[in-house]
Structure 1
Amino acid sequence: MVKMIALYKQPQDKEKFDEHYFQTHVPITAKIPGLRNMKVTKITGTPMGGESEYYLLCEMYYDSYEAFKEAMKTSEAKASAKDLMSFAGDIVTLMVGEEVEND
């Protein structure tokens, strides 16, 4: 399983960010062909009880790296990327990872 990870820093206006993220961006992203699952986590703090510099984490799962690469070529993925840059381009970091079995 391969996943793309979007890690967002604290937005200036959390309410405005949440409204756009959940009402506009998530529905656009959910339409990407080959996307198997999408998990969103709100960061609530650090283990020491302090505030984190990060606000949100999104994990988008694909069957394989090849499936991910094919998905990124689609118009749906391009629409998601365009929307992302329009509202969070300065606070998001994108990564691709592969899950590792931990026996």
Structure 2
Amino acid sequence: MIKVALAILMFICLLDMPYGYYQFVRFTALIGFGVLAFKSNQQKKQTQMIVYGALALLFQPFIKIALGRDLWNVVDVIVGLGLIITIFKKSEV
């Protein structure tokens, strides 16, 4: 459920949304990816834990990473598609 919600939020970022929405996505992504990293760690899936931890750091709202709108759109699509792919894989978190 977390992956579906995060994927939807990532794809909505492609639309022209108010700045507050992007701040909301950053906070939500930090929490969501943090939870996914924690669950992956409990299941001894170190690679997934590292990926989700890195995504939590990338999207965290405290020290913003300025990539520009176009590059952020690419990141949002890649992350959204990656989340959808992991939903359909057998080893789901």
| Larger RCO (alpha carbons 8 Å, 6+ apart) | 1
Comparing both structures, which one devotes a greater share of its residues to helix? 2
TM score, norm. by length of structure 2: 0.28
Comparing both structures, which one devotes a greater share of its residues to strand? 1
Structure with larger Rg: 1
TM score, norm. by length of structure 1: 0.26
